[in-house]
Structure 1
């Protein structure tokens, strides 16, 4: 088997990992609300349970990323992290108390921390011009899991038997089901995952060496370029071209700054990551109680709804994959932020004064969810791709860990914010709209942060 086949199969295995993460989310989220109610948990435990998973990923993501940067290997990291997924889902299956349920999501979240190593691996194994397409395809696998998950819920909800001393019903069955799937994944990773060499070393040759030299010299470029210089920033690399070191005109510039994450373009992308995930998870937390209260949805209704959402998001990622080869990442980011802004305004107008029993309310609810999910693929793919281009390749695992930690912080605060404000949607949605306005203004051509991002290729 040659290296190209190994690379393809490895990417498919990564897609399977993301597929299982989507399935886990889809089979647990529609039932966890009622599960907690049966265990006599107070309402705020819903936000705690959803945030616990993200908290573990937030803490372990940079550690796994640093591990992969130093070892230049991710296979053993994935195998190790999956053990936590197996253990966490088994604890969810046991479900003796609300506290064990909360701890189960904490343990399972450790396994999600390996995502930073995987994103770093993808960055090292892809060229800049194909990276957005690969990211879009991998993320589409997770959304496919969100689509398939409700189908599994169709039969999981029918479970009603005992496995030794343990009760298997529609609330505990998702835990044992995911435990089995993550165990099977261990064997798949062992057989079909290779730590293939990076794109630079795989291609080799004088041309690639010159590209690497150019990237090294770009580390020494000033963070803010003059207007007349920005036009000539992107040069074609020919075989007779030898890039020369570029000196910064500022005597205070450090060619290897110890705090690269304070660069303006990086801060803009991290802020976009935080705000979009904060808003997304806040709306997800709000959806289940709203459908139960105003529209009478059961677990089956919620599962069907999440299935329909999965179809939409998969189509969105396929659209972004197609667009990424035709337009710049920064354009995709701007479109995504605009759609998210429209979605938030729509929800603020039509969903803050529901009474239940009116057909137009369900229609308004569906449109709001549709718009919110439509903008998600645009923002998710573009900010990941742009972030991989403004951070160093040699520390990509740690950088992606920091990015995912920022996202994890958003997915912790989002449910906590929404969980306590389901009865006061004006405040909840008003804050979300304010955050979206902030990042949209930051990404306008007149803002310094986006002036830097506009200098990126792709």
Structure 2
């Protein structure tokens, strides 16, 4: 008994390390983890390429299609089909990307860059072959590499929850806006590149394809040089390991009621609806504004491209600011404010009065100002949704939700491109208001369900 008592006394006076328990230290470290800046730069460039490949053809695609006797022409909607075809291609290979991610991030990124390179070259050579069908084939093949899902999965796994919204707003949001904005700007600049190489004419129609192919080569070199070779551990993550995953916001209670499960499903569905609706607004506006500026307002390709590019470029500011605000305010609150302002701005997108009663500039200025406000405030919540959902869903749902949101986003980009090309300005503005109203109201109804769970 004396020996036992002495051991107990020694334990009582034993010096223990100060600070939180090891498990809490590990959780705090995981919450704050960040990958290297070089890896974040490569991921950002991948997103930039995807959206640049999507948008760079917009100012010139109608001229290219008309020169090859494509059906319908710009007003007939074929230009919208060509632009949106890249999004359809991105959704097709989603199952393959899930398999590749399980094995290697680097290999997945390389496959994407190769597909965009090949598709861009085919698009550029369609003029030489004198067939419009190659335009469509090139856009579809290039779109096969246009999946943001690998980058989003990488961020969900490599970035801690504390920094995830801020990093996502930069890597996904800023790169996305740069791609959208610089696409029309590069297209306007490439208008002045015009020469012949044998039978091949390199001009404003096919320059975008060659330009994207050149940028893809640079990405292939960067990824091959340094990017994680290991695969994702989030793919096919089992629920039994949820409590150990650092990104988990709350372990699912086994005795969760049916009502709670339904509400949880509705909460996750809100993210899917939001990610489907917002790209329709963005892409629909881009196609609709191009047609309106070049058609009704009589702007040149260069002027309309620079105007669109400038408006989208400005979205970088709210993305950077919004990323910093996520440390102080919840993602849900930022989304509500953004959607409210976006909804009000749609009022200026309607055409009031006849063309004979109102001057061109009296119609153009309100449209451009409202477009500026809309694009700046709808882009931020679109990007935040990808990081926001990882704070609300369970660990086993993170990769599946990123997969679902990616597919939904691709399809909505295609829908937006065709819709923006076909609908009148008033019909498009009405559609925007309807989508924004639904998203905002459902966001308010879900309330606290959209707040991150306490670990």
- Give the length in aligned residue pairs: 408
Which runs of structure 2 are paired with 1:312-323 in the superposition (5 Å)? 312-323=314-325
Distance 1:375 1:278 in 2: 14
The whole-number CA distance in structure 2 between the counterparts of 1:212 and 1:186 is 35
Residues 34 and 179 of structure 1: CA distance in aligned 2, closer, same or farther (over 3 Å):
same
Query: 1:35 aligns to what?
Result: 64
Q: SS at the partner of 1:162?
A: strand
How many Å separate the matches in 2 of 1:360 and 1:385?
A: 40
SS in 2 for 1:167: strand
1:288-307 matches, cutoff 5 A: 288-307=290-309
Distance 1:145 1:430, change over 3 A: closer
SS of aligned partner of 2:252: coil
Offset, 1:88: 0.6
Pick the aligned partner of 1:94 from 114, 125, 143.
125
Conservation of the 8 A alpha-carbon contact between 1:275 and 1:410 = yes
Seen in structure 2, the aligned counterparts of structure 1 residues 457 and 338 have a Cα distance that, compared at 3 Å, is farther
Residue aligning to 1:369: 371
Partner of 1:452: 449
Asked if 1:10 corresponds to 2:56, the answer is no
Q: Does residue 136 of the first structure (1) align with residue 169 of the second (2)?
A: yes
Q: In the aligned structure 1, how far is the partner of 2:305 from the partner of 2:344? A: 26
Which among 206, 209, 216 is matched to residue 175 of structure 1? 209
1:89–1:104 CA contact under 8 A, matched in 2 = yes
Query: 1 CA distance for matches of 2:342 and 2:307?
Result: 20
Residue 218 of structure 1 corresponds to which residue in structure 2?
Answer: 250
Look up the SS of the partner of 2:205 in the other structure.
coil
- CA distance in 1 between counterparts of 2:268 and 2:397 reads 14
Give yes or no for contact 2:161–2:247 (8 Å, CA) kept in 1: no
1:167 Cα deviation after fit = 1.2
- CA gap of 1:417–1:24, structure 2 versus 1, over 3 A, is closer
Partner of 1:80: 111
The whole-number CA distance in structure 1 between the counterparts of 2:449 and 2:364 is 42
Q: Deviations over 1:184-223 (max 9, x none)?
A: 21011111322579899xxxxxxxx9973797693423xx
Alpha-carbon separation, structure 2, partners of 1:81 and 1:140: 20
Instruction: Please provide the CA RMSD for this pair.
Output: 3.1
Normalising by the residue count of structure 2, what TM-score does the alignment of the two structures yield?
0.81
The CA distance in 2 between the partners of 1:154 and 1:427, in whole Å, is 28
Q: Distance in 2 between matches of 1:82 and 1:213?
A: 30
User: Which consecutive unaligned segments of at least 5 residues does structure 2 have?
Assistant: 1-32, 235-240
The answer as to 2:52 corresponding to 1:55 is: no
SS at match of 1:28: coil
> CA shift at 1:133, angstroms?
0.6
**Aligned partners of 1:269 and 1:65: how far apart in 2?**
20
How far, CA to CA, are the matches of 2:243 and 2:296 in structure 1? 58
Q: Report if aligned partners of 1:27, 1:174 keep a CA contact under 8 Å in 2.
A: yes
- For 1:63 and 1:199, the matched residues in 2 are separated by 16
1:56-455 mapped onto 2 (5 Å cutoff): 56-68=89-101, 70-71=102-103, 73-95=104-126, 96-113=130-147, 115-138=148-171, 139-195=173-229, 212=244, 218-221=250-253, 247-248=254-255, 250=257, 263-348=265-350, 350=351, 357-393=359-395, 396-422=398-424, 425-444=425-444, 447=445, 449-454=446-451
- Shift in Å, 1:28: 1.6
